[in-house]
Amino acid sequence: MSSENMEREQLAELAPDEPIEGQVVLPGFESQEEQEAQEAFPWLKGDKTIRAMILDLFSADGDGGEHIGIAGASVSATLSEVVKTQPLKEILYPTDKLNAKIWRQAPDEEGRITLAIGTNNSNEDAVVRAEIVFDMLLSEAGLEVSAWRKFDPFDKLYYIVLASLYYAGNPTTSLSQQYKTMGHSTAPMGKIEGGEKSILERMNDSLTLFGTGRAYIDNEEEIGINKRTPRLKLDAPLLNFTRVSAYIDGAFTDAAIHINEEPILMRFARLRKQFTAIPPALLNSPVNKTPATLSIQDYLITRIARMKNPTNKAPRKILYQTVFERCGITDKKQRTRAKGYIERFLQYYKSEGHIGGFTKAEDGVIIRLPKQDTGPKKPVKRGKANA
């Protein structure tokens, strides 16, 4: 018998159907390997697909109990791509002036977006300077090509959703999870109304744009004027992410991304405490998702957020003309449709309890906030009980 065959027989004797001497298999486990895998990774309990995968890794070298140290590195490497997502309870939506303006910009011929944003209405010297620089890409022929273009409302919403998933403890998510969170009810390969590309194609376009951009933000010029503003000098990729394959909630996908750090534009809003938290359901409105309706949705969410801020005396009236100008709606027919979209959005927000209601006027709509959002309650006087 060859030495190779003898070695195989010896290994087979070390891995019989019954536990070998010295091993204790607890009830509910079929083997020592399965028990060790479950003890090492208890959070995977009950997930049959991932459980089987881990068992294969633990049993890969067939070396009885000795294989744990050898296979451990493989298990750890694989588990970096095994994910159980956390529930998403809120969408963090930026309300700062930088995010309000930068997502409507187009890069110049050199792939740069440069902004100087005033942050104090009474002092024009209070300025935040921001720049996004986009890199060239290499084509299949090895030529440098530009992938930059003007941002659109889809890009902004996608960026916000990715950041919100990240904040909820989900740095790794599939593209299908992302598009559902954005409020899309159609199949991911379905086309966005008014566009030639599918939702997934648009998401990939946005990721390419995010991945080639690097943002620089500096508020040195405003801190001497806006005394309570923190000093911020940020320099990071627009979105630092990696495309990965992963087991997410027990299902395998080769179309996932892992976000490596907090998205810089959301970090800017968070550090300045200029964001609002909305329920994810608010993005699931019955209004069709088009560039125009996404732009209207963005404006309504940020305007209502300012109304709800007790320190911001924002007017409760939203003028149609302001919506048209902000959303780039110029055609008379489009403006008529936009008024209908605004009403449908507000009706949905009312049904979700986000607003108390609204009243239509000739030139706009007047928002009524829910009672709990109308401002701080008056303190209750302590003393004798009222009769």
pLDDT tens per residue, range 190-231: 555 556 778 888 899 999 999 999 999 999 888 888 878 889
**pLDDT confidence bin for 113, thresholds 50/70/90:** very high
User: Does residue 278 or residue 50 have the better pLDDT?
Assistant: 278
Q: Which residue has the higher pLDDT, 17 or 112?
A: 112
Report the range of poorest mean pLDDT among 132-141, 271-280, 354-363: 132-141
Residue 83 has pLDDT above 70, yes or no: yes
Q: What average pLDDT does the segment 252-279 reach?
A: 93
Q: What domains are defined for the chain?
A: 3-79 (no CATH), 84-279 (no CATH), 285-380 (1.10.10)
The runs of H, that is alpha helices, within 80-198 are: 97-102, 153-167, 175-181
- 170-181: average pLDDT: 91
The percentage of residues in the chain with a pLDDT greater than 90, rounded to a whole number, is 49
The yes-or-no verdict on residue 352 having pLDDT over 80 is yes
Q: Average pLDDT over the chain, rounded to whole?
A: 78
Query: What's the rounded mean pLDDT across residues 111-118?
Result: 91
Residues of the chain with pLDDT > 70: what percent? 70
Report the DSSP beta bridge partners of residue 258: 172, 242
Cβ contact 143:68 at 8 Å: no
Q: Mean pLDDT across the stretch 361-370?
A: 94
The closest of 343, 352, 348, 350 to 323, measured between CA atoms, is 343
130-167: per-residue pLDDT in tens?
999 998 775 556 566 677 889 999 999 999 999 999 99
Mean pLDDT across 266-292: 93
pLDDT > 90? residue 235: yes
Q: What is the pLDDT of residue 70?
A: 33
Q: What is the DSSP string of 115-147?
A: EEEE--TT-TT-EEEEEEEEPEEE-TTS-EEE-
How far apart CA 234 and CA 282 sit, in angstroms, is 31
Query: Which pLDDT value is given to residue 333?
Result: 93
Query: Which H or E run contains 367?
Result: strand 364-368
Predicted confidence at residue 3, as pLDDT, reads: 52
* Higher per-residue confidence, 64 vs 349: 349
State residue 152's pLDDT score. 92
